[in-house]
Amino acid sequence: MAEQYIVGVGAVIASLLGFLFLYCNSLIRFRGLSKLKRAASMEFPKGNSVNKTGNSEGVGTTDIIIVGAGVAGAALAYSLGKDGRRVRMIERDLNMPNRIVGELLYPGGYIKLIELGLEDCVDEIDAQQFLGYTLYKDGKETLVSYPLEKFQSHISGRTSHNGRFVQRLRKKASSLHNVTLEQGTVTSLIEENGIVKGVHYKNKSGQVLTAYAPLTIVCDGCFSNLRRSLCYPKVDIPSYLVGLTLTNCNLPKKNYGAIILGHPSPIILYPVSSTEIRCMVDVPSEKVPSVSNGEMACYLKTQVAPKVLPELYNSFMSAIEKKGNIRIMPAKIMAAAPHLTPGALLIGDALNMRHAITGGGMTVALSDVVILRDLLRPLHDLSDAFTISKYLESFYTLRKPMSSTINILANVLQKVFSASSNPAMENLQHTFLGYLRLGGMFSYGASAMLSGLCPSPLSLAFHFFSIAIYGVGRLLLPFPSPRRLWDGAKFLWVASSILLPYIYSEGIRQMFFPLTVPAYYRTPPKKGGIKYSSPLHRLRRNQTNVLPPNCASIL
Protein backbone atom coordinates (compact mmCIF):
# COMPACT_ATOMS: atom_id res chain seq x y z
CA MET A 1 0.00 0.00 0.00
CA ALA A 2 2.79 2.39 0.92
CA GLU A 3 4.60 1.68 -2.34
CA GLN A 4 1.42 2.40 -4.32
CA TYR A 5 0.95 5.68 -2.42
CA ILE A 6 4.49 6.76 -3.24
CA VAL A 7 4.03 5.85 -6.88
CA GLY A 8 0.71 7.69 -7.08
CA VAL A 9 1.93 10.92 -5.48
CA GLY A 10 5.20 10.78 -7.36
CA ALA A 11 3.44 10.16 -10.65
CA VAL A 12 1.13 13.18 -10.25
CA ILE A 13 3.94 15.56 -9.30
CA ALA A 14 6.33 14.11 -11.85
CA SER A 15 3.72 14.34 -14.59
CA LEU A 16 3.15 18.04 -13.91
CA LEU A 17 6.88 18.70 -13.86
CA GLY A 18 7.33 16.53 -16.92
CA PHE A 19 4.75 18.48 -18.92
CA LEU A 20 6.50 21.75 -18.09
CA PHE A 21 10.00 20.43 -18.78
CA LEU A 22 9.12 18.67 -22.01
CA TYR A 23 7.22 21.70 -23.29
CA CYS A 24 10.22 23.95 -22.63
CA ASN A 25 12.53 21.33 -24.08
CA SER A 26 10.46 21.07 -27.27
CA LEU A 27 10.60 24.86 -27.66
CA ILE A 28 14.38 24.94 -27.21
CA ARG A 29 14.88 21.96 -29.53
CA PHE A 30 12.71 23.60 -32.18
CA ARG A 31 14.72 26.82 -31.99
CA GLY A 32 18.02 24.93 -32.09
CA LEU A 33 17.06 22.63 -34.95
CA SER A 34 15.65 25.54 -36.94
CA LYS A 35 18.96 27.36 -36.56
CA LEU A 36 20.90 24.35 -37.83
CA LYS A 37 18.43 23.76 -40.65
CA ARG A 38 18.79 27.33 -41.86
CA ALA A 39 22.57 26.96 -41.89
CA ALA A 40 22.73 23.50 -43.42
CA SER A 41 20.15 24.29 -46.10
CA MET A 42 22.58 26.71 -47.73
CA GLU A 43 24.09 25.38 -50.92
CA PHE A 44 27.59 24.06 -50.49
CA PRO A 45 29.73 25.88 -53.05
CA LYS A 46 31.77 24.05 -55.64
CA GLY A 47 35.39 24.71 -56.44
CA ASN A 48 38.26 25.96 -54.35
CA SER A 49 37.22 27.05 -50.89
CA VAL A 50 40.62 28.50 -49.94
CA ASN A 51 41.57 32.05 -50.83
CA LYS A 52 44.74 32.28 -52.89
CA THR A 53 46.65 34.93 -51.05
CA GLY A 54 50.05 34.27 -52.56
CA ASN A 55 51.41 32.79 -49.30
CA SER A 56 52.20 29.09 -48.99
CA GLU A 57 49.76 28.90 -46.08
CA GLY A 58 46.87 30.04 -48.26
CA VAL A 59 47.56 28.18 -51.48
CA GLY A 60 47.76 24.67 -50.04
CA THR A 61 45.81 21.76 -51.40
CA THR A 62 43.98 21.17 -48.12
CA ASP A 63 40.88 22.89 -46.78
CA ILE A 64 40.80 21.17 -43.39
CA ILE A 65 43.38 19.19 -41.42
CA ILE A 66 42.00 16.59 -39.03
CA VAL A 67 44.35 15.40 -36.31
CA GLY A 68 43.35 11.87 -35.33
CA ALA A 69 41.50 9.19 -37.27
CA GLY A 70 39.48 7.57 -34.52
CA VAL A 71 35.68 7.48 -34.46
CA ALA A 72 35.28 11.27 -34.43
CA GLY A 73 38.12 12.04 -36.86
CA ALA A 74 37.26 9.43 -39.48
CA ALA A 75 33.52 10.17 -39.35
CA LEU A 76 34.18 13.89 -39.69
CA ALA A 77 36.63 13.41 -42.56
CA TYR A 78 34.07 11.36 -44.48
CA SER A 79 31.29 13.90 -43.84
CA LEU A 80 33.38 16.87 -44.91
CA GLY A 81 34.84 15.03 -47.87
CA LYS A 82 31.37 14.05 -49.04
CA ASP A 83 30.49 17.76 -48.92
CA GLY A 84 33.36 18.55 -51.28
CA ARG A 85 36.03 19.64 -48.81
CA ARG A 86 39.66 18.67 -49.33
CA VAL A 87 40.52 16.92 -46.10
CA ARG A 88 43.85 15.70 -44.76
CA MET A 89 43.77 13.23 -41.85
CA ILE A 90 46.91 12.61 -39.82
CA GLU A 91 46.81 9.61 -37.46
CA ARG A 92 49.64 8.50 -35.19
CA ASP A 93 49.00 4.77 -35.74
CA LEU A 94 47.08 3.28 -38.66
CA ASN A 95 47.18 -0.24 -37.27
CA MET A 96 43.92 -1.61 -35.91
CA PRO A 97 43.33 -0.11 -32.43
CA ASN A 98 43.20 -2.59 -29.58
CA ARG A 99 41.13 -0.93 -26.87
CA ILE A 100 38.70 -2.07 -24.19
CA VAL A 101 36.58 1.10 -24.40
CA GLY A 102 34.63 2.63 -27.26
CA GLU A 103 32.79 -0.65 -27.83
CA LEU A 104 29.18 0.45 -27.27
CA LEU A 105 27.20 2.67 -29.60
CA TYR A 106 23.85 3.83 -28.20
CA PRO A 107 20.74 3.78 -30.40
CA GLY A 108 21.01 7.58 -30.50
CA GLY A 109 24.57 7.21 -31.76
CA TYR A 110 23.50 4.71 -34.41
CA ILE A 111 20.96 7.25 -35.66
CA LYS A 112 23.78 9.78 -35.97
CA LEU A 113 25.73 7.19 -37.93
CA ILE A 114 22.79 6.93 -40.32
CA GLU A 115 22.64 10.73 -40.65
CA LEU A 116 26.30 10.68 -41.66
CA GLY A 117 25.80 7.87 -44.19
CA LEU A 118 28.10 5.56 -42.22
CA GLU A 119 25.66 2.91 -40.97
CA ASP A 120 27.32 0.24 -43.12
CA CYS A 121 30.46 0.60 -40.97
CA VAL A 122 28.88 -1.67 -38.33
CA ASP A 123 28.45 -4.39 -40.98
CA GLU A 124 30.96 -7.21 -41.47
CA ILE A 125 32.61 -6.67 -38.06
CA ASP A 126 30.42 -9.13 -36.11
CA ALA A 127 28.72 -6.23 -34.30
CA GLN A 128 25.86 -7.23 -32.02
CA GLN A 129 22.50 -5.56 -31.61
CA PHE A 130 22.17 -4.08 -28.13
CA LEU A 131 18.78 -3.40 -26.55
CA GLY A 132 19.55 -2.47 -22.95
CA TYR A 133 20.83 -3.75 -19.61
CA THR A 134 19.74 -6.02 -16.77
CA LEU A 135 20.76 -4.62 -13.38
CA TYR A 136 21.50 -7.12 -10.60
CA LYS A 137 21.43 -6.14 -6.94
CA ASP A 138 21.02 -8.40 -3.88
CA GLY A 139 19.51 -11.19 -5.93
CA LYS A 140 16.96 -8.94 -7.66
CA GLU A 141 16.88 -8.08 -11.35
CA THR A 142 15.84 -4.81 -13.00
CA LEU A 143 15.46 -4.77 -16.76
CA VAL A 144 16.22 -1.48 -18.51
CA SER A 145 15.23 -1.59 -22.17
CA TYR A 146 15.85 1.16 -24.69
CA PRO A 147 12.52 2.67 -25.88
CA LEU A 148 12.73 1.56 -29.51
CA GLU A 149 9.08 0.71 -30.22
CA LYS A 150 8.50 3.83 -32.32
CA PHE A 151 11.60 3.31 -34.45
CA GLN A 152 12.34 1.20 -37.48
CA SER A 153 13.35 -2.38 -36.71
CA HIS A 154 17.06 -1.92 -37.48
CA ILE A 155 17.43 0.94 -35.01
CA SER A 156 19.15 -0.27 -31.85
CA GLY A 157 22.43 -0.02 -30.06
CA ARG A 158 25.51 -1.82 -31.38
CA THR A 159 28.41 -3.44 -29.56
CA SER A 160 31.64 -4.50 -31.26
CA HIS A 161 35.41 -4.45 -31.01
CA ASN A 162 36.46 -0.82 -31.19
CA GLY A 163 39.34 -1.48 -33.58
CA ARG A 164 37.17 -3.18 -36.19
CA PHE A 165 34.70 -0.29 -36.18
CA VAL A 166 37.44 2.34 -36.42
CA GLN A 167 39.11 0.57 -39.35
CA ARG A 168 35.80 0.48 -41.23
CA LEU A 169 35.35 4.22 -40.67
CA ARG A 170 38.90 4.93 -41.86
CA LYS A 171 38.41 2.83 -44.98
CA LYS A 172 35.14 4.60 -45.79
CA ALA A 173 36.69 8.05 -45.32
CA SER A 174 39.83 7.36 -47.33
CA SER A 175 37.74 5.94 -50.18
CA LEU A 176 36.83 9.53 -51.11
CA HIS A 177 39.21 11.04 -53.64
CA ASN A 178 39.41 14.36 -51.77
CA VAL A 179 40.28 12.78 -48.40
CA THR A 180 43.85 11.72 -47.66
CA LEU A 181 44.89 9.61 -44.68
CA GLU A 182 48.52 9.38 -43.60
CA GLN A 183 50.37 8.08 -40.59
CA GLY A 184 52.16 10.70 -38.55
CA THR A 185 52.48 12.08 -35.05
CA VAL A 186 51.43 15.71 -34.76
CA THR A 187 53.86 17.39 -32.39
CA SER A 188 52.52 20.96 -32.35
CA LEU A 189 50.25 23.50 -33.97
CA ILE A 190 51.65 26.17 -36.28
CA GLU A 191 50.52 29.49 -34.87
CA GLU A 192 51.10 32.96 -36.32
CA ASN A 193 49.69 36.15 -34.82
CA GLY A 194 47.25 34.17 -32.70
CA ILE A 195 45.96 32.13 -35.66
CA VAL A 196 46.54 28.40 -36.12
CA LYS A 197 47.78 27.86 -39.69
CA GLY A 198 48.47 24.12 -39.61
CA VAL A 199 50.55 21.48 -37.83
CA HIS A 200 54.07 20.13 -37.43
CA TYR A 201 54.23 16.35 -37.51
CA LYS A 202 56.60 13.42 -37.86
CA ASN A 203 55.79 10.89 -40.53
CA LYS A 204 56.27 7.14 -40.22
CA SER A 205 59.98 7.36 -41.06
CA GLY A 206 60.59 10.09 -38.48
CA GLN A 207 60.88 12.97 -40.95
CA VAL A 208 59.56 16.30 -39.59
CA LEU A 209 56.96 17.83 -41.91
CA THR A 210 54.46 20.65 -41.92
CA ALA A 211 50.90 20.79 -43.21
CA TYR A 212 48.88 23.96 -43.75
CA ALA A 213 45.13 24.55 -43.92
CA PRO A 214 42.70 27.37 -43.02
CA LEU A 215 41.10 25.15 -40.34
CA THR A 216 42.66 22.47 -38.13
CA ILE A 217 40.31 20.18 -36.20
CA VAL A 218 41.93 18.30 -33.32
CA CYS A 219 40.26 15.04 -32.30
CA ASP A 220 43.18 12.86 -31.25
CA GLY A 221 41.41 11.20 -28.34
CA CYS A 222 41.69 10.97 -24.59
CA PHE A 223 45.51 11.02 -24.65
CA SER A 224 45.67 14.18 -26.78
CA ASN A 225 48.93 16.08 -26.60
CA LEU A 226 47.44 19.18 -28.26
CA ARG A 227 44.49 19.92 -26.00
CA ARG A 228 46.58 21.96 -23.56
CA SER A 229 46.81 24.85 -26.02
CA LEU A 230 43.13 24.69 -27.00
CA CYS A 231 41.25 24.14 -23.75
CA TYR A 232 41.47 24.04 -19.98
CA PRO A 233 42.81 20.48 -19.60
CA LYS A 234 41.68 19.52 -16.08
CA VAL A 235 41.30 15.73 -16.12
CA ASP A 236 39.97 13.66 -13.20
CA ILE A 237 40.50 9.91 -12.93
CA PRO A 238 38.01 8.63 -10.31
CA SER A 239 38.57 4.97 -11.19
CA TYR A 240 40.12 2.48 -13.58
CA LEU A 241 38.32 -0.02 -15.77
CA VAL A 242 39.77 -3.51 -15.68
CA GLY A 243 38.81 -5.37 -18.85
CA LEU A 244 38.61 -9.09 -19.57
CA THR A 245 37.37 -11.01 -22.61
CA LEU A 246 35.13 -13.96 -21.72
CA THR A 247 34.53 -16.83 -24.14
CA ASN A 248 32.44 -20.02 -24.14
CA CYS A 249 29.56 -18.40 -22.30
CA ASN A 250 26.38 -16.40 -22.87
CA LEU A 251 24.69 -13.58 -21.01
CA PRO A 252 21.31 -14.43 -19.42
CA LYS A 253 19.33 -12.27 -21.85
CA LYS A 254 20.27 -12.10 -25.52
CA ASN A 255 21.16 -8.62 -26.87
CA TYR A 256 21.21 -7.24 -23.32
CA GLY A 257 24.17 -6.38 -21.16
CA ALA A 258 24.43 -6.96 -17.43
CA ILE A 259 25.45 -4.63 -14.60
CA ILE A 260 26.14 -6.28 -11.25
CA LEU A 261 26.03 -3.87 -8.32
CA GLY A 262 27.98 -5.04 -5.33
CA HIS A 263 30.91 -4.39 -3.06
CA PRO A 264 33.72 -3.65 -3.78
CA SER A 265 33.21 -2.90 -7.49
CA PRO A 266 30.40 -2.83 -10.04
CA ILE A 267 30.78 -5.30 -12.91
CA ILE A 268 29.63 -4.51 -16.46
CA LEU A 269 29.19 -7.22 -19.11
CA TYR A 270 28.19 -6.90 -22.76
CA PRO A 271 28.85 -8.83 -25.99
CA VAL A 272 31.55 -7.56 -28.36
CA SER A 273 31.11 -10.32 -30.94
CA SER A 274 29.02 -13.44 -31.43
CA THR A 275 31.52 -15.46 -29.36
CA GLU A 276 33.00 -12.93 -26.88
CA ILE A 277 31.75 -11.01 -23.89
CA ARG A 278 33.53 -7.99 -22.49
CA CYS A 279 33.71 -7.88 -18.70
CA MET A 280 34.60 -4.52 -17.18
CA VAL A 281 35.31 -4.09 -13.48
CA ASP A 282 35.29 -0.54 -12.16
CA VAL A 283 38.01 -0.17 -9.52
CA PRO A 284 38.54 3.07 -7.52
CA SER A 285 41.74 4.80 -8.60
CA GLU A 286 43.30 4.70 -5.12
CA LYS A 287 42.89 0.91 -4.86
CA VAL A 288 44.10 -0.42 -8.20
CA PRO A 289 46.20 -3.59 -7.67
CA SER A 290 49.22 -4.28 -9.85
CA VAL A 291 48.84 -6.59 -12.84
CA SER A 292 52.54 -7.42 -13.16
CA ASN A 293 52.98 -8.94 -9.70
CA GLY A 294 49.71 -10.90 -9.70
CA GLU A 295 47.81 -8.70 -7.26
CA MET A 296 45.13 -7.85 -9.83
CA ALA A 297 44.50 -11.52 -10.63
CA CYS A 298 44.17 -12.25 -6.92
CA TYR A 299 41.78 -9.30 -6.48
CA LEU A 300 39.59 -10.49 -9.35
CA LYS A 301 39.49 -14.07 -8.06
CA THR A 302 38.78 -13.28 -4.41
CA GLN A 303 36.81 -10.03 -4.48
CA VAL A 304 35.07 -9.90 -7.86
CA ALA A 305 34.51 -13.52 -8.96
CA PRO A 306 32.04 -14.33 -6.13
CA LYS A 307 29.75 -11.54 -7.44
CA VAL A 308 29.82 -12.76 -11.07
CA LEU A 309 26.68 -14.45 -12.43
CA PRO A 310 26.87 -18.24 -11.90
CA GLU A 311 26.61 -19.03 -15.63
CA LEU A 312 29.65 -16.83 -16.29
CA TYR A 313 31.80 -17.86 -13.33
CA ASN A 314 33.92 -20.55 -15.04
CA SER A 315 34.58 -18.35 -18.07
CA PHE A 316 35.50 -15.45 -15.78
CA MET A 317 38.04 -17.55 -13.89
CA SER A 318 39.50 -18.89 -17.16
CA ALA A 319 39.82 -15.34 -18.51
CA ILE A 320 41.87 -14.33 -15.48
CA GLU A 321 44.34 -17.15 -16.11
CA LYS A 322 44.75 -16.33 -19.81
CA LYS A 323 48.04 -14.50 -20.36
CA GLY A 324 47.69 -10.85 -21.35
CA ASN A 325 43.90 -10.90 -20.97
CA ILE A 326 43.78 -8.48 -18.04
CA ARG A 327 43.91 -4.92 -19.30
CA ILE A 328 43.49 -1.61 -17.47
CA MET A 329 42.20 1.69 -18.80
CA PRO A 330 41.90 4.94 -16.80
CA ALA A 331 38.33 6.25 -16.70
CA LYS A 332 38.86 9.94 -17.36
CA ILE A 333 36.43 12.79 -16.77
CA MET A 334 37.00 16.18 -18.38
CA ALA A 335 34.38 18.88 -18.85
CA ALA A 336 34.45 20.83 -22.11
CA ALA A 337 36.29 24.08 -21.40
CA PRO A 338 37.60 25.26 -24.80
CA HIS A 339 39.67 28.35 -25.58
CA LEU A 340 38.39 30.19 -28.63
CA THR A 341 41.35 29.73 -31.01
CA PRO A 342 41.15 31.13 -34.57
CA GLY A 343 42.05 28.47 -37.11
CA ALA A 344 41.55 25.51 -34.77
CA LEU A 345 38.72 23.53 -33.19
CA LEU A 346 38.69 20.74 -30.62
CA ILE A 347 36.16 17.87 -30.64
CA GLY A 348 35.69 14.32 -29.37
CA ASP A 349 37.49 12.95 -26.33
CA ALA A 350 40.24 15.52 -26.83
CA LEU A 351 37.64 18.12 -25.80
CA ASN A 352 35.28 16.33 -23.46
CA MET A 353 35.29 13.02 -21.59
CA ARG A 354 32.81 11.32 -19.32
CA HIS A 355 33.21 8.16 -17.23
CA ALA A 356 33.29 5.16 -19.55
CA ILE A 357 31.10 2.97 -17.34
CA THR A 358 28.01 3.64 -19.47
CA GLY A 359 29.81 3.73 -22.83
CA GLY A 360 28.49 7.04 -24.16
CA GLY A 361 31.66 8.43 -25.73
CA MET A 362 31.07 7.34 -29.33
CA THR A 363 27.50 8.65 -29.29
CA VAL A 364 28.63 12.09 -28.11
CA ALA A 365 31.44 12.12 -30.69
CA LEU A 366 29.13 11.28 -33.59
CA SER A 367 26.62 13.88 -32.41
CA ASP A 368 29.43 16.45 -32.40
CA VAL A 369 30.35 15.46 -35.96
CA VAL A 370 26.77 15.92 -37.20
CA ILE A 371 26.52 19.39 -35.61
CA LEU A 372 29.93 20.51 -36.89
CA ARG A 373 29.21 19.22 -40.41
CA ASP A 374 25.96 21.19 -40.51
CA LEU A 375 27.67 24.33 -39.25
CA LEU A 376 30.46 24.09 -41.83
CA ARG A 377 28.25 23.30 -44.82
CA PRO A 378 27.32 26.90 -45.71
CA LEU A 379 30.89 28.23 -45.43
CA HIS A 380 32.41 29.04 -48.81
CA ASP A 381 35.59 30.66 -47.52
CA LEU A 382 37.53 29.42 -44.47
CA SER A 383 40.39 31.90 -44.76
CA ASP A 384 38.98 34.51 -42.35
CA ALA A 385 40.01 32.64 -39.23
CA PHE A 386 38.68 35.14 -36.66
CA THR A 387 35.22 35.35 -38.26
CA ILE A 388 34.97 31.58 -38.71
CA SER A 389 36.10 30.96 -35.13
CA LYS A 390 33.49 33.36 -33.79
CA TYR A 391 30.78 31.65 -35.83
CA LEU A 392 31.83 28.14 -34.79
CA GLU A 393 31.63 29.14 -31.13
CA SER A 394 27.95 28.18 -31.40
CA PHE A 395 29.09 24.55 -31.73
CA TYR A 396 29.87 24.43 -28.01
CA THR A 397 26.30 25.42 -27.12
CA LEU A 398 24.51 23.37 -29.76
CA ARG A 399 26.28 20.19 -28.62
CA LYS A 400 25.06 20.56 -25.03
CA PRO A 401 21.77 18.61 -25.17
CA MET A 402 23.50 15.38 -26.15
CA SER A 403 26.87 15.85 -24.48
CA SER A 404 25.76 17.22 -21.12
CA THR A 405 22.94 14.68 -20.71
CA ILE A 406 25.14 11.66 -21.41
CA ASN A 407 28.12 13.13 -19.52
CA ILE A 408 26.15 13.79 -16.34
CA LEU A 409 24.36 10.44 -16.43
CA ALA A 410 27.64 8.56 -16.88
CA ASN A 411 29.43 10.41 -14.09
CA VAL A 412 26.52 10.25 -11.66
CA LEU A 413 25.73 6.58 -12.28
CA GLN A 414 29.37 5.64 -11.75
CA LYS A 415 29.25 7.23 -8.30
CA VAL A 416 25.91 5.64 -7.45
CA PHE A 417 26.94 2.19 -8.70
CA SER A 418 30.31 2.27 -6.92
CA ALA A 419 29.31 3.24 -3.38
CA SER A 420 27.64 0.20 -1.87
CA SER A 421 29.67 0.44 1.36
CA ASN A 422 28.17 3.85 2.21
CA PRO A 423 24.67 3.52 3.83
CA ALA A 424 23.41 6.76 2.27
CA MET A 425 24.68 5.74 -1.14
CA GLU A 426 23.29 2.25 -0.66
CA ASN A 427 19.90 3.84 -0.13
CA LEU A 428 20.42 5.88 -3.30
CA GLN A 429 21.11 2.67 -5.22
CA HIS A 430 17.90 1.04 -3.97
CA THR A 431 15.94 4.20 -4.76
CA PHE A 432 17.26 4.32 -8.30
CA LEU A 433 16.49 0.67 -8.93
CA GLY A 434 13.02 1.05 -7.41
CA TYR A 435 12.40 4.06 -9.63
CA LEU A 436 13.31 2.05 -12.73
CA ARG A 437 10.95 -0.74 -11.63
CA LEU A 438 8.05 1.71 -11.72
CA GLY A 439 8.14 1.29 -15.48
CA GLY A 440 6.30 3.58 -17.90
CA MET A 441 7.62 7.09 -18.36
CA PHE A 442 9.96 6.67 -15.39
CA SER A 443 11.96 3.72 -16.68
CA TYR A 444 11.62 4.59 -20.38
CA GLY A 445 12.36 8.24 -19.75
CA ALA A 446 15.61 7.41 -17.97
CA SER A 447 16.67 4.88 -20.61
CA ALA A 448 15.72 7.31 -23.42
CA MET A 449 18.23 9.79 -22.02
CA LEU A 450 20.90 7.17 -21.41
CA SER A 451 20.52 5.77 -24.94
CA GLY A 452 20.87 9.18 -26.61
CA LEU A 453 17.30 9.05 -27.96
CA CYS A 454 16.13 11.93 -25.77
CA PRO A 455 19.24 13.96 -24.93
CA SER A 456 17.62 16.69 -22.87
CA PRO A 457 19.01 18.48 -19.80
CA LEU A 458 15.46 19.44 -18.88
CA SER A 459 14.40 15.79 -18.92
CA LEU A 460 17.43 15.06 -16.77
CA ALA A 461 16.25 17.65 -14.23
CA PHE A 462 12.72 16.23 -14.36
CA HIS A 463 13.89 12.70 -13.57
CA PHE A 464 16.16 13.96 -10.80
CA PHE A 465 13.17 15.63 -9.12
CA SER A 466 11.08 12.51 -9.66
CA ILE A 467 13.73 10.26 -8.11
CA ALA A 468 14.07 12.70 -5.21
CA ILE A 469 10.30 12.63 -4.58
CA TYR A 470 10.24 8.85 -4.81
CA GLY A 471 13.29 8.41 -2.58
CA VAL A 472 12.13 10.79 0.15
CA GLY A 473 8.66 9.24 0.01
CA ARG A 474 10.12 5.78 0.63
CA LEU A 475 11.95 7.08 3.68
CA LEU A 476 9.06 9.03 5.19
CA LEU A 477 6.35 6.37 4.94
CA PRO A 478 4.40 5.11 6.77
CA PHE A 479 4.86 8.01 9.20
CA PRO A 480 7.34 10.94 8.97
CA SER A 481 9.12 10.58 12.30
CA PRO A 482 12.05 12.90 13.18
CA ARG A 483 14.49 10.11 12.29
CA ARG A 484 12.82 9.59 8.91
CA LEU A 485 12.81 13.34 8.25
CA TRP A 486 16.53 13.42 8.96
CA ASP A 487 17.13 10.45 6.64
CA GLY A 488 15.08 12.20 3.93
CA ALA A 489 17.11 15.38 4.28
CA LYS A 490 20.36 13.39 4.17
CA PHE A 491 19.14 11.58 1.05
CA LEU A 492 18.50 14.89 -0.72
CA TRP A 493 21.88 16.23 0.37
CA VAL A 494 23.79 13.19 -0.88
CA ALA A 495 21.90 13.12 -4.20
CA SER A 496 22.42 16.84 -4.75
CA SER A 497 26.10 16.70 -3.81
CA ILE A 498 26.63 14.12 -6.55
CA LEU A 499 24.56 15.74 -9.31
CA LEU A 500 25.01 19.49 -8.90
CA PRO A 501 28.83 19.69 -9.32
CA TYR A 502 28.54 17.93 -12.67
CA ILE A 503 25.77 20.29 -13.79
CA TYR A 504 27.93 23.23 -12.76
CA SER A 505 30.94 21.88 -14.67
CA GLU A 506 28.82 21.42 -17.81
CA GLY A 507 27.53 25.00 -17.60
CA ILE A 508 24.10 25.81 -16.16
CA ARG A 509 23.44 28.58 -18.67
CA GLN A 510 24.38 26.55 -21.74
CA MET A 511 22.45 23.52 -20.52
CA PHE A 512 19.18 25.03 -19.34
CA PHE A 513 19.10 28.51 -20.85
CA PRO A 514 20.84 28.21 -24.25
CA LEU A 515 18.67 30.97 -25.72
CA THR A 516 20.48 33.45 -23.44
CA VAL A 517 23.92 32.51 -24.82
CA PRO A 518 25.00 35.02 -27.51
CA ALA A 519 26.89 32.35 -29.48
CA TYR A 520 23.62 30.45 -29.98
CA TYR A 521 22.49 33.07 -32.49
CA ARG A 522 25.65 33.17 -34.61
CA THR A 523 24.95 32.90 -38.33
CA PRO A 524 27.33 31.98 -41.15
CA PRO A 525 29.44 34.86 -42.45
CA LYS A 526 28.20 36.01 -45.86
CA LYS A 527 31.66 36.64 -47.29
CA GLY A 528 32.32 34.53 -50.36
CA GLY A 529 28.94 34.72 -52.01
CA ILE A 530 27.00 32.20 -49.96
CA LYS A 531 23.74 31.30 -51.63
CA TYR A 532 20.69 30.56 -49.52
CA SER A 533 18.09 28.00 -50.53
CA SER A 534 14.82 28.44 -48.75
CA PRO A 535 13.38 24.92 -48.19
CA LEU A 536 14.28 23.92 -44.63
CA HIS A 537 13.80 20.24 -45.37
CA ARG A 538 17.05 20.20 -47.41
CA LEU A 539 18.93 19.59 -44.16
CA ARG A 540 17.67 16.01 -43.99
CA ARG A 541 16.87 15.33 -47.65
CA ASN A 542 19.33 12.42 -47.80
CA GLN A 543 18.64 10.97 -44.37
CA THR A 544 16.41 8.17 -43.21
CA ASN A 545 13.47 9.34 -41.15
CA VAL A 546 14.15 7.35 -38.01
CA LEU A 547 13.87 9.89 -35.21
CA PRO A 548 10.53 10.84 -33.61
CA PRO A 549 9.80 14.58 -33.60
CA ASN A 550 10.50 15.05 -29.90
CA CYS A 551 11.19 13.27 -26.65
CA ALA A 552 7.52 13.20 -25.68
CA SER A 553 6.78 10.80 -28.54
CA ILE A 554 9.24 8.28 -27.08
CA LEU A 555 7.52 8.36 -23.70
Instruction: Say yes or no: 509 and 428 in one domain.
Output: yes
Q: What pLDDT score was predicted for residue 554?
A: 63
Angle between helices 482-506 and 400-417 (to 10 degrees): 140
Domain-located, residue 155: yes
- Tens of pLDDT along 336-369? 999 999 999 999 999 999 999 999 999 999 999 9
List the one residue out of 453, 466, 546 whose CA is nearest residue 147.
Answer: 453
Last residue of a domain, one of 313, 348, 383: 383
Q: How far is it, in rounded angstroms, from Cα 467 to Cα 438? A: 11
Instruction: Say yes or no: 70 and 165 in one domain.
Output: yes
Q: Which domain holds residue 307?
A: 238-332
- The number of domains in the chain is 3
Instruction: Say yes or no: 433 and 344 in one domain.
Output: no
Instruction: Say yes or no: 79 and 173 in one domain.
Output: yes
Instruction: Say yes or no: 29 and 166 in one domain.
Output: no
Instruction: Say yes or no: 52 and 175 in one domain.
Output: yes
Q: How far is it, in rounded angstroms, from Cα 538 to Cα 515? A: 24
- Tens of pLDDT along 249-305? 999 999 999 999 988 789 999 999 999 999 999 998 887 999 999 999 999 999 999
- Tens of pLDDT along 10-49? 444 444 444 444 444 444 444 444 444 444 443 444 333 3
List the one residue out of 240, 218, 432 whose CA is nearest residue 333.
Answer: 240
Q: What pLDDT score was predicted for residue 8?
A: 46
Q: What pLDDT score was predicted for residue 424?
A: 79
Domain-located, residue 8: yes
Instruction: Say yes or no: 470 and 426 in one domain.
Output: yes
Q: What pLDDT score was predicted for residue 236?
A: 95
Rg value, the chain, Cα: 24
Percentage of residues in the chain with pLDDT exceeding 90?
Answer: 70
Give me the helices (H) in 199-305, please.
295-299
Q: What pLDDT score was predicted for residue 513?
A: 92
- Tens of pLDDT along 177-224? 999 999 999 999 999 999 999 999 999 899 999 999 999 999 999 999
Mean pLDDT of 299-320: 95
- Any idea which of 420-429, 459-468, 492-501 has the lowest mean pLDDT? 420-429
Q: How far is it, in rounded angstroms, from Cα 348 to Cα 42? A: 26
